[in-house]
Structure 1
Amino acid sequence: MFALLYSVLNTIFTNVYHSQQCSSCGQGSAVYLNSSSITLASPKRNDEMPQILLNCLNLDGQSIGNCPFSQRLFMVLWLKGVTFNVTTVDMKSRKPDVLKDLAPGAQPPFLLYGTEVKTDTNKIEEFLEETLCPPKYPRLAAHNPESNTAGLDVFSKFSAYIKNSNPQMNDNLEKGLLKALKKLDDYLSSPLPDEIDENSADDVTSSTRPFLDGQQLTLADCNLLPKLHIVKVVCLKFRGFSIPRSLTSLWRYLDAAYAREEFSSTCPSDEEIHMAYSSVVKALK
């Protein structure tokens, strides 16, 4: 596989590893993603090929594991229209040498491009957005800045909720999570500027858009949706809490997302998520 990688000239391969020790659960094996159809540049040297290394958890060593950062970049590549192949790698017994030598002490995800290392998922995403650009690849950035921050407090409220072991605090922490979900629902139900026709006599007071920034999935969705999926699965399993159906705009958003292959096909199974969080969730006692 590496021989093939380095034998190709004038093409940059994006190689994605899902490494052991996921930042959220500290477990897992790996998946090697070879996006061999991406032409990013014409490098002068083969060592200028970028590599993206990501966290992952796999129960069976075969399927995509639980890691919202990994899923986020999977979705970006898929939405860009990149064709890629996935080959599993056993991180426990056959850990790739590249993972032993690059960025000692750093936890994936990170991107290596020549001598430059990007250790931030946002920077990796920016690299993909800037490099995989029109006319060959679509822009995925949201048009409305507010879409990038919508729902970002949900995951922190979720973490506080599931990591609490004090029954007396449970109700207040659940209310905090509900408040964050309601805030997201409010954003999804509020019309965006391009949904309002200033020349129309009718006032637009609500939105029916399927996604955060409109009719299409954007980078904002790639960031938020993997986390929302974890929130939904973990809360139901360990706290018996379901996202209220009264949050109709939020459920419209989730239903639209699950109908898209770019999201649903990159979601880990419920069992993967349950295992990842079994040691994270605190029992109420």
Structure 2
Amino acid sequence: MSRSFRRDNVWESFLRPLLKPYKSYLVQVIKLVPGGFPQEVLLLTTLLFFYIIIMDYYFRRRLGSNLIDHTAVFESPSSSKSKENNILILVLGWGGCTKRQLRRLLEFYSNNGMSTICYISPMWNYIFDVSLEQIESILEMMKLYVINNGSKTTTTKIFIHSHSNNGALVWSYLSDRIQNDNNYKMLLPYLNGVIFDSAPYVTQQRKFPVISSTGGSTLACTKKYLSSQIDRGISVSWFKWSDSGHVNHFRVHASEYGEKASTIARFQSFRQQCPTTESSGVNCIPLNSDLLDYYDSQNILESRSDETLSNVSHVALFVKRSEIDFSHRTPCPICQKWFMVLFLKSSDKELALTVYAVNMKNPEQEFRSCHSNPPVVILDDQQTVLTDSKEIECEITARFQQVNLKSDKEAEYAVADIYIKFHAYLKADQKLLMARERSLTVELKKLDLLLQRRNTKFLCGDQMTYADCDISPKLQHIRIAGQIYRNYSIPTDFKHLWQYLKNVYETQAFRESCPYDQDIILHYETKMMGTKRYSKNRHPRLQPPTLTFTITNENRTTSSLKDDEPER
């Protein structure tokens, strides 16, 4: 009796708590092989599994307090402004960082009169699930702050400042618990904004559903993204720097980063100018955050007026990823077309757009369930999945009518055969090469004459339409790939076509979605017939990524764009 009791006691007090976090992980590993593991593989897997458990236990219980500060720490502000600005900042660090690396950011918030809760997520959270105790410790501190301060003033606000995927992962668990646990629902009225620093960042397949839900959460608060062009993220609603590395923006751009963050400290001075409204539960758009409304008023981030909140839908676009930096700059012209269309709709506050860059060699489960190739458009939280270009155009046109992107038949006819002729030109053998080149030039001449006759910025007027979003990526491919593979350039005497390209290059929709030159070159590598393309030391993967937005003096006398603008 005593022995049985001791055995149960050991299980309840030691083994069961130790194995509980790994239960789901072990079940997933066993299910990978339908026929079961061979005995040798099962033995090695079991030994490795228990080695991970022992090392994890060692780091958690023995060295955790010395190596990594993974507990939530509350710090009071050092400034008297806290009496005026009753604001709490929850800082979620990236995986494996230390409090010392966040010290300057915490001091900045403290000096501006804001209380902070700092939580640094241990790296094992990204391998295994976040423990319930960690989540509850953070929520209890937030709840205690609200109880002590919320009754004193009506201006109590809570903002989340998350770093990288680990921070986003912790926030997804926190938001889920706040919405579904009655003990913490009292925090909902006080949550006013989430700032994602360098997240999401090249999500792994296992954590993809959790981290992608961060952007699509229905939690009633603003979400904004601070990132750089080096970060390999997926959202298009971010503020980007050009040179700072992953989770390194505050160190490199301290003054500019601090200027944006310091608007929280000036909360009281502009709160009357930006009245809050009730949440409509819309994903990835500003709802009721005065902080981010102030960002918007300073042209730091995109804004959306309160009148359009109830009509905004969340749209997810899956595109083939860049092979150069794995970003959303897709080399597929069809994917870029719908990127531009949805970007234009999003810029006019009709929808909230999130772009997912898909690795076609190992696509995420969420994309595989669509049973299609990119582009794929998902509307209304996966209620509507569109995989055909005709379906996408009909649904987008019918549902989002505020921005009219319809083009006329003459413009569509003028651009219909250009890309077909270009493909035939690339694949032609030497006997047909000159004929195929003439056919391509004739089609480009037809477009140039149309632009000359209409004398407008774009094909159907001074605003972009479907025809512009369709032909502009293809013209960029002709310009880059034609020069590399066939030494072909768009004739310089097509002045109106070059002016059209200049106008396209100046649009944010094209610049945000334009693929790197190297990606375009790689896109046509398999389509060529033994043509010598480049030397080994000039392989596109070995070159720094560039974007060609040049309009030379020969093509056009006026141009303010730089040649081969580097992205890194």
> What is the Cα-based RMSD across aligned positions, in Å?
3.1
Aligned residue in 2 for 1:278: 525
The 2-side partners of 1:283 and 1:119 are apart by 33
Aligned residue in 1 for 2:397: 129
Aligned residue in 2 for 1:227: 474
Q: Find 2:415's aligned residue among 134, 139, 151.
A: 151
Q: Once the 2 structures are TM-superposed, how far is the Cα of residue 254 of structure 1 from its aligned partner?
A: 1.0
Q: Which amino acid aligns with 2:452?
A: S
Q: Once the 2 structures are TM-superposed, how far is the Cα of residue 50 of structure 1 from its aligned partner?
A: 5.7
Question: What are structure 2's unaligned runs of at least 5 residues?
Answer: 1-210, 221-231, 238-283, 286-303, 533-568
Aligned residue in 2 for 1:69: 334
Question: 2:316–2:355: 8 Å Cα contact kept in structure 1?
Answer: no
Deviations for 1:103-131, whole angstroms, at most 9, x for unmatched residues?
3xx32223345565432123213322332
Going from structure 1 to structure 2, the CA distance change for 1:85 and 1:214 (only over 3 Å counts) comes to: same
Aligned residue in 2 for 1:247: 494
The 2-side partners of 1:140 and 1:9 are apart by 32
Structure possessing the higher relative contact order (Cα contacts under 8 Å, 6 or more residues apart): 1
The 2-side partners of 1:101 and 1:109 are apart by 14
Q: Once the 2 structures are TM-superposed, how far is the Cα of residue 132 of structure 1 from its aligned partner?
A: 2.5
Question: What are structure 1's unaligned runs of at least 5 residues?
Answer: 11-29, 44-48, 192-207
Question: 1:56–1:70: 8 Å Cα contact kept in structure 2?
Answer: no
The 1-side partners of 2:315 and 2:328 are apart by 24
Count of residue pairs brought into register by the alignment: 238
Q: Secondary structure in 2 aligned to 1:150?
A: helix
The 2-side partners of 1:266 and 1:61 are apart by 13
Moved more, 245-254 or 125-134: 125-134
Q: Once the 2 structures are TM-superposed, how far is the Cα of residue 62 of structure 1 from its aligned partner?
A: 3.1
Q: Once the 2 structures are TM-superposed, how far is the Cα of residue 184 of structure 1 from its aligned partner?
A: 1.2
The 2-side partners of 1:112 and 1:265 are apart by 20
Q: Secondary structure in 1 aligned to 2:325?
A: coil
Q: Once the 2 structures are TM-superposed, how far is the Cα of residue 9 of structure 1 from its aligned partner?
A: 7.2
Name the structure where helix makes up a greater proportion of residues.
Answer: 2
Q: Secondary structure in 2 aligned to 1:133?
A: coil
Q: Once the 2 structures are TM-superposed, how far is the Cα of residue 242 of structure 1 from its aligned partner?
A: 0.4
Whether 1:181 aligns to 2:444 is yes
Question: 1:31–1:86: 8 Å Cα contact kept in structure 2?
Answer: no
Aligned residue in 1 for 2:320: 55
Q: Find 1:111's aligned residue among 377, 381, 388.
A: 377
The 2-side partners of 1:260 and 1:115 are apart by 32
Q: Which amino acid aligns with 1:174?
A: E
The 2-side partners of 1:248 and 1:111 are apart by 36
Q: Summarize the alignment of residues 20-99 of structure 1 with structure 2, pairs less than 5 Å apart.
A: 32-33=234-235, 36-37=284-285, 51-62=316-327, 64-80=329-345, 81=347, 82=349, 84=353, 95-99=363-367
Deviations for 1:63-104, whole angstroms, at most 9, x for unmatched residues?
5131112211221122221565667666656x421122223x
State percent identity of aligned pairs. 29
Q: Which amino acid aligns with 1:4?
A: T
The 1-side partners of 2:385 and 2:444 are apart by 35
Q: Which amino acid aligns with 1:100?
A: R
Question: 1:55–1:69: 8 Å Cα contact kept in structure 2?
Answer: no
Whether 1:210 aligns to 2:457 is yes
Q: Find 1:101's aligned residue among 369, 377, 394.
A: 369
Q: Once the 2 structures are TM-superposed, how far is the Cα of residue 31 of structure 1 from its aligned partner?
A: 6.7
Going from structure 1 to structure 2, the CA distance change for 1:127 and 1:32 (only over 3 Å counts) comes to: farther
Aligned residue in 1 for 2:218: 8
Going from structure 1 to structure 2, the CA distance change for 1:53 and 1:171 (only over 3 Å counts) comes to: same
Q: Find 1:236's aligned residue among 473, 478, 483.
A: 483
